[in-house]
Structure 1
Amino acid sequence: MLKRRIDDPSYCFEESSQKSVEKVGSFKSRRLFENESPSIIVPRFQKGLIISTFEKDLVACASLPVTKQLKEYEILVQNEYVGLNHVDWKSKKYRFNIYSFPWVNGRECSGIVIKQGPKVDKKKFPIFSEVFLASTSYRDLKTSTFQEYTVFDSRLVWRIPQHKLPIGLVQNKFGLEFAAGIGVALVTAGSAISTIVDLTVEVQKNNDKAQNIAIWGGSSSVGLYVIQLAKACKKFDKIVIISSSKHKDYLKELGATHVIDRFQPAERILEEIADLCPEGVNYGIDVISKETATVLSKILEHGNTETKKLVCIVGLPEGTTECVRKNLKTKLIIETVNIKKFHEDIRFGSWFVSYTSKLFETDQLKPIKSLKVFKSLGSFGEGIMNGLKELEDKGASAEKFVASL
């Protein structure tokens, strides 16, 4: 396992002489250069990490088929790194979101484009371009990432952002290892905050009333991106985070205006927020549990009498009924997050990729700066299994787990 931070050196190449620079490395046994015509032989089968039954451990398999017939907008990505998420171990342990055997998990990755469908934007996604993605289409195994190759709709894929240095070099803002851990958390955060405010509409100065938002679980992967999106949209006066106080400086660096220690009694948390926001809190996003969502719902009940909105990513507040959730005449509207909207609504998904790409390019959005990289020193998938075990046993706080393939 390696630990890296986002401020470590990045790789550079000279824009004026890209054709003479070795771009990718090796595919199988031969090395490809930019001045070569991109003729890549895609194998019929690939290695992957499969779930054969709920009872048995994950096992490496070398005979998974590789999708060669791509749809109009699809690209084939050779995975370099995969992000690790709690759903990857929970779905097997608690038996959900697995619909047949053998099954391949994995919802995010980074890698190299090696094949394009006929309508793919070739300028945006040339062969060898470095990309990252979030696969929200759980039932389609070709989009899973715990395997060597992943197929996904190019309109929902990010390029690694770059910037030009004064000396004429073009530099990646971050490497593939950091990119691998962005997708799922960013899409979840975007789905949550777009439930609260319309990100497509810019703030009109002096016309829009600034409002307050409270986020419980700010040091989680999702929470870290919610904070950044909340700041970037400029629609909130106060961004109050309930989290471990040890991450206070980092959370404020990302955009939090106030950080409240989550280890205090609930009554004390309510008092602190009431002091910080005597006018009340308009919106809440809970990333942790139904218990914390319950406390957050009580926070929203205080203050002004305007309709409030609570978005729950993990569980609904205790005592919540379907009637309360959907009755728009109630003071508190409670909603859940549907991250499948990302791929089911291509218009929204492609807009979100474009929107966040601009935020990355302008440094308004950054990957989680602390990273744990799990490498496979033996059989395929060893790093994934080790990382998932640590994620289940210890969890991650203000850091991201990824594995190299």
Structure 2
Amino acid sequence: MNAVVLEKTGDPISGFVLSNSVPIPSPSPSQLLLKVKSCALNPVDYKMAQYNVLINDPLPLPLGCDVCGEIIQIGSDSSEESFKVGDLVFGYTGLGTIGYGTFAEFCVIEKSLAMKTSNGALTHPQLSSVGVGLETAALGLFQSLSLTISDEPKENLPKILIWGASSSVGMFAVQLASICGYPVIAVCSESNFDFMKSLGATYTVSYRDSNAAVNEIRSLPGGPPLHAYSTISSDASNLCAKSVSGENSIVAACAGGITESVDGVESKDVFLGMIPKNEDQTKYLSTLIPTFNRWFDNGKLKPGKILLMNGLQSIFEGLSTLSQGKVSGEKIVISLEP
């Protein structure tokens, strides 16, 4: 099959090449084989190449971990009746392992992590952008912060701060917390305020003046938020720590934790990359998949904004754009459909 493979590490882009001789992966009993319709790019893709991290199998190896594709073969575990050949599924596959790479015409995904929706209004490019952002958001909110996931939220739940709310992870964190009844404070640029409100944010705060942002957050009605989710940097995590109440508060962080300690505030790292190797994490996340499917079906959950490119060859341009920090508030998606 055709695939963009990583041949050497040390640079974010130059180690990738387009190959026409990559074997089509065979699904294990726990997996589905997909014909890739679209894949999405994530910062981890070029960071794996640049820093030689999270690569479990020998090079050359297709990377990429976000996909939407059509099932063409189901692993031999006959106990799984949720899928059939021809179904369109989407989600996060895994990192640095043969078969999981989505920069290819075919890839595998664990059955337990594959999402599907009956919402015909959602396109395969939109669905391919979901996996990493949604699942990282879910781990941070429901595991690290111990928020309650519910279709019937309770009243008077504590406010939750999302710093970096317009990022892929942040955008899903805003939606998930809001769906579950938590008032959300979304920190982002002013240009994304309306978008955050449309996703359910109760309050929007500009990140541009960090001291002013902290003061504004702590002065909101009802007092400071109890917990926070930082999605962009350790600097943002430190600002979160200054913003929360400090009453056994937690700052969950997926891109660098707290480096300046604050009394009454604990930092917890959030990392999707050990899934599916980490069986406990994988099992936990798999319990959330049916709820996510239902929320996509009924429109409660929505994919974010995408920047669409076409063909495997465009992965090089996409990775270059992403590595230069030229992407904000949207996700680069590669369509493999003609």
Deviation at 1:279, TM superposition (A): 2.3
Q: 1:71 to 1:103 in 2, by over 3 A?
A: closer
User: What is aligned with 1:49?
Assistant: 4
Distance (whole Å) between structure 2 residues aligned to residue 251 and residue 73 of structure 1: 37
User: What is aligned with 1:215?
Assistant: 162
2:68 and 2:127 in contact (8 A); partners too = yes
User: What is aligned with 1:269?
Assistant: 213
Q: 1:205 to 1:151 in 2, by over 3 A?
A: closer
Distance (whole Å) between structure 2 residues aligned to residue 201 and residue 126 of structure 1: 29
Deviation at 1:393, TM superposition (A): 2.3
Is the aligned partner of 1:372 residue 2:307?
yes
Distance (whole Å) between structure 2 residues aligned to residue 101 and residue 152 of structure 1: 20
Distance (whole Å) between structure 2 residues aligned to residue 217 and residue 224 of structure 1: 8
Query: Match for 1:332: what amino acid?
Result: V
The one of 330, 333, 337 aligned to 1:402: 333
The one of 314, 324, 330 aligned to 1:393: 324
Deviation at 1:340, TM superposition (A): 4.6
User: What is aligned with 2:140?
Assistant: 192
Distance (whole Å) between structure 2 residues aligned to residue 121 and residue 403 of structure 1: 33
User: What is aligned with 1:151?
Assistant: 108
1:274 and 1:280 in contact (8 A); partners too = yes
Distance (whole Å) between structure 1 residues aligned to residue 274 and residue 290 of structure 2: 16
Distance (whole Å) between structure 1 residues aligned to residue 20 and residue 50 of structure 2: 24
User: What is aligned with 1:160?
Assistant: 117
Distance (whole Å) between structure 2 residues aligned to residue 204 and residue 271 of structure 1: 29
Query: Match for 1:367: what amino acid?
Result: P
Q: 1:125 to 1:222 in 2, by over 3 A?
A: same
TM-score (norm 2): 0.90
Distance (whole Å) between structure 2 residues aligned to residue 347 and residue 53 of structure 1: 33
Q: 1:340 to 1:85 in 2, by over 3 A?
A: closer
Query: Match for 2:292: what amino acid?
Result: T
The one of 50, 59, 62 aligned to 2:20: 62
Q: 1:284 to 1:178 in 2, by over 3 A?
A: same
Distance (whole Å) between structure 1 residues aligned to residue 153 and residue 257 of structure 2: 33
Q: Which moved more, 1:107-116 or 1:91-100?
A: 91-100
Matched residue SS, 2:22: strand
Aligned residues: 328
Is the aligned partner of 1:314 residue 2:255?
yes
The higher radius of gyration belongs to 1
RMSD across aligned C-alpha pairs, in angstroms?
2.1
Map 1:5-404 → 2, pairs under 5 A: 46-55=1-10, 56-68=14-26, 70-99=27-56, 100-119=58-77, 124-136=82-94, 138-162=95-119, 172-194=120-142, 195-200=144-149, 205=154, 209-234=156-181, 236=182, 238-264=183-209, 266-300=210-244, 303=245, 306-320=247-261, 331-340=264-273, 342-343=275-276, 344-345=279-280, 346-368=282-304, 370-376=305-311, 381-404=312-335
Query: Match for 1:132: what amino acid?
Result: F
Deviation at 1:215, TM superposition (A): 0.8
Query: Match for 1:392: what amino acid?
Result: S
1:187 and 1:342 in contact (8 A); partners too = no
Deviation at 1:285, TM superposition (A): 0.5
Query: Match for 1:54: what amino acid?
Result: T
1:48 and 1:147 in contact (8 A); partners too = yes
Distance (whole Å) between structure 1 residues aligned to residue 215 and residue 288 of structure 2: 36
The alignment-based identity, stated in percent, is 23
Query: Match for 2:225: what amino acid?
Result: V
1:373 and 1:404 in contact (8 A); partners too = yes
Q: 1:198 to 1:216 in 2, by over 3 A?
A: closer
Higher strand share: 1
Deviation at 1:397, TM superposition (A): 2.1
Matched residue SS, 2:247: coil
Q: 1:248 to 1:204 in 2, by over 3 A?
A: closer
Distance (whole Å) between structure 1 residues aligned to residue 45 and residue 204 of structure 2: 30
Distance (whole Å) between structure 2 residues aligned to residue 54 and residue 198 of structure 1: 39
Q: Deviations over 1:124-161 (max 9, x none)?
A: 3211111112023x242211111111112212101133
1:342 and 1:348 in contact (8 A); partners too = no
Unmatched tracts of structure 2, length 5 or more: none
Deviation at 1:211, TM superposition (A): 0.3
Unmatched tracts of structure 1, length 5 or more: 1-45, 163-171, 325-329
Distance (whole Å) between structure 2 residues aligned to residue 400 and residue 316 of structure 1: 23
Deviation at 1:199, TM superposition (A): 3.6
Matched residue SS, 1:113: strand
Query: Match for 1:291: what amino acid?
Result: D
Distance (whole Å) between structure 2 residues aligned to residue 230 and residue 385 of structure 1: 35
